[in-house]
Amino acid sequence: MIKVTLNINDFDRTLLVEPDENLLYTLRERLLLTGTKKGCDQASCGTCTVLMDKKPILSCITPTLRCEGKSIHTIESVAKNGKLHPIQDQLVKHGGLQCGFCTPGFVMTSIEFLEENKNPTESEIKEALSGNLCRCTGYKKIIEAVKAASEDMK
Amino acid sequence: MSVKSYLKPQSVTDALIMAKTHANYLYFAGGTDIQVYLKQQLIKPDHIIDLSDIGELQNIASNDENISIGSMTTLDAISKNNSIYKDFPLIVEAAQSIGTPVIRKTATVGGNILVNNRCNFYNQSFGWRQAIGSCLRDVGDLCQVTKTSGKCFSRNVSDLAAALFCLDAKVIISNQNEGLELSIVDLYNQDGIDFHKHLDHDGILTKIILPIDAGSTWFKKLRIRNTLDFSSLTIAAKVYDNRNFRIGLNGVSMSPVLITGNLDMIDLEGIKSLARKSCKTVDNDMMPLKYRREMIDVYLDQWWVSIQK
Ligand SMILES: Cc1cc2nc3c(=O)[nH]c(=O)nc-3n(C[C@H](O)[C@H](O)[C@H](O)COP(=O)(O)OP(=O)(O)OC[C@H]3O[C@@H](n4cnc5c(N)ncnc54)[C@H](O)[C@@H]3O)c2cc1C
Ligand code: SF4
Ligand code: FES
Ligand code: FES
C-alpha cells in the first residue's frame, strides 16, 4: 500500500491506499464519507460526483493517487454551519428528490455549473446535468430547483 | 489487487523511461475510457503511467498556418479555446458530442483519438462475458457476431477522429526511437483487436496539428440518448474552396473511414456507394445493423442538401 496525504473538505488526511484505488472507495470505505454515492461505478450515472480543485469529477473513475496535492470537496462540505447551500435548499423546496440517492451528484455538479454560469437557461441546465441520472423525480423539479438556486446565488 | 505501481512522470522523457523499465504498463490519460476496461477486467496492467502531470502535453499553440493541441488537453478546454472555436468549429462540435459535460472536464483529446474499439459482446461485465463464452478479442476463440474465428469487427468510436480525418490533421508521437509525425489517418488499422498503428516502442501521442484552411464543415452523430451514449454513427465532412471534400465516418467500422474527392467529379450516389464499400459494419451495436446502414445514407443525404445552399 502507498501512503498519501489528501486534502478533503479543507482537512489534510494521511492514509494508506492501493495503487489502483479510486477516490470513491477511499472516501466511502476509508474515510467513511458516505454522502458520495456509488451508483453504476463506471462513469455513467454521476452520483459519485465530487469537486477536485473546484471542478466536478467522477470519483468512481478517479485514481486516489491522482488527487494528491489537489483539494477535494464532497457533499459533506456543502452545508455550512447547519445552513443548506441554495441548491440543497431549493431541491428541498421544489421536491427535487425522492429517494435522494442521486442528489449529492446533482448538487456537486450544479455548484460548479452555477459558479460558471450565473444566469442559466433551462436548456443550459439540462445540458450541464445531462450526466446525472435520477430514477425517481423525472428531472423537472431538479431543473426548476437549480434555476431557482441560480436566482438565490446572485 | 493486480496493479503494482501508479507512476506519475513529470515529462515525456520520464514517461518513456518508466515505460521501458516497467513491463505490462498502461498509459493513463483522463481514464474515462480505460477505467471501465480495468473494472471489467478486460485489461490487467501491472503498472499505471499517469500522464496528467506532464505540462508539455497540455499546451495549445497557434500561428497563421496551424494550431497544435497537446494530447492531454481536455475536451472541455478545447471547446472553450477561442482560436479553436474560431478556426475549427467542427472540432468543438465533435468534442461537445462526447460523453457528458463532467466527463469532458477529465477526458483528453489524445485519449479520445486512441479510445478503445467497442462491441456489444465485449464491453460487458466479466460475468456477462463468461455466460456467452467470451469472444475472439477476449479469451474465446469465436467472434460472437460472425460465429467465425477469423476476424474481430469491434467498432472505432472516436468522434474526434471523424472530425480530424476531414481536417487532414497530423499527429506527433514520441517513442524510444526518434518519434514520428504522421497523418492521423495512418494511426488506425482496419482490425478490431489491433486497431492502432505506430504506437510501438512505447509510443506516446503528444500533439495534434491542424492546418488552418478555409472551407465549410458539417457534423452529425447518431446515438440512442443525446448524452452519455457512444456513437452508433458519426459523420464529419469538410468542403474546401476548390470543391474538394473530405468525409470522416466512424462508429461503423473497425477504424474511422475517410472518403475524399471533388464535387465536380462525383455525385451523391457515388459517395454513398464508396461509404458502403469502405465500412465493414456488423451487428455489434445497440442500434440494429439495418438501421445504422440506412442512416449512413440518410446523413449523407442531409450533408448533400446542406452544401447545395
Ligand atoms: C459514459 C461515457 C460516455 C462516453 N461517450 C463517448 C463518446 O460519445 N464518444 C467517444 O469517442 N468516447 C466516449 N467515451 C469514452 C471516453 O470518455 C472518451 O473517448 C475520452 O475522450 C477518452 O479520453 P481519456 O483521456 O479519458 O482516455 P483514457 O481512458 O485515459 O485512455 C484511452 C486510451 O488511450 C490511451 N492513451 C491515452 N492518451 C494517450 C497518449 N497520449 N499516448 C498514448 N496512449 C494514450 C490509453 O492507454 C487508453 O488505451 C465515453 C465514456 C463514458 C464513460
Ligand atoms: S466483433 Fe466479434 S470478436 Fe470482436 S469484440 Fe465483438 S464479438 Fe468479440
Ligand atoms: S458511480 Fe460514478 S458515475 Fe456512476
Ligand atoms: S431521487 Fe431517487 S434517484 Fe434521484
Distance (Å) from CA A45 to ligand 1 centroid: 17
Which atom of ligand 4 is closest in space to residue A135's alpha carbon? Answer: 3
CA distance B105 to B108: 8
CB-nearest to B36 from A42, A55, A57 is: A42
- Topology of the domain comprising A86-152: DNA polymerase; domain 1 (1.10.150)
Per-residue CA distances from A128 to A45, A51, B66, B243 (Å): 13, 15, 31, 38
- In Å, the largest CA–CA distance within chain B is 60
CA distance A49 to A105: 5
The domain ranges of chain A are 2-75, 86-152
Closest approach of B223 to chain A, Cα-based (Å) = 14
- Look at residues A11, A119, A150 and name the one whose alpha carbon lies nearest to residue A73: A11
Determine whether B212 is exposed, middle or buried from the number of CB atoms within 10 Å of its CB (0-12, 13-18, 19+): middle
Q: What is the CATH number of the domain that holds B250?
A: 3.30.390.50
Beta strands in chain B (DSSP E): 5-7, 25-28, 47-50, 60-62, 66-70, 170-174, 180-183, 204-211, 215-222, 233-240, 244-250, 257-262
For residue B38, the ligand closest to its alpha carbon is 1
* Domain extent at residue B224: 216-308
* Residue B82 lies inside a defined structural domain of this protein: no
Indicate which residue's Cα is closest to atom 43 of ligand 1: B204
Q: Which residues of chain B have pLDDT under 70?
A: 1
Mutation choice for ligand 2 from B121, B134, B191, CB with most ligand atoms inside 8 A: B121
Q: What is the pLDDT of residue B147?
A: 95
CA distance B123 to B105: 23
* Residue B288 lies inside a defined structural domain of this protein: yes
* Residue B24 lies inside a defined structural domain of this protein: no
**Could you give phi then psi for residue B24, rounded to 5 degrees?**
50, 55
Q: What is the pLDDT of residue B150?
A: 87
CA distance B244 to B94: 21
The nearest alpha carbon in chain B to A48 belongs to: B102
From the CB of A23, is ligand 3 less than 6 Å away?
no
How are strands ordered across the β-sheet holding A2-8? A11-17, A2-8, A71-73, A49-52, A55-58
- Topology of the domain comprising A2-75: Ubiquitin-like (UB roll) (3.10.20)
* Residue B69 lies inside a defined structural domain of this protein: no
Q: Which residues of B touch A61 (CB under 8 A)?
A: 31-32, 35-36, 106
Distance (Å) from CA B221 to ligand 4 centroid: 29
- In chain B, the number of structural domains is 1
Helix (H, G, I), strand (E, B) or coil at B84: helix
Q: What is the pLDDT of residue B1?
A: 55
Give me B64's grid cell. Answer: 497563421
Distance (Å) from CA B119 to ligand 2 centroid: 6
Cβ distance of A130 and B100 shorter than 8 Å: yes
Q: Which residues of A touch B31 (CB under 8 A)?
A: 61-63
Q: Which residues' Cβ are closer than 6 Å to ligand 4?
A: A 97-102, 134-137
Is any Cβ of chain B less than 8 angstroms from the Cβ of A54?
no
Cβ distance of A66 and B35 shorter than 8 Å: no
- Calculate the CA dihedral of residues B258, B228, A61, A141 and round it to 10 degrees: 160
Instruction: Give the bridge partners for B133, in sequence order.
Output: none
Is any Cβ of chain B less than 8 angstroms from the Cβ of A19?
yes
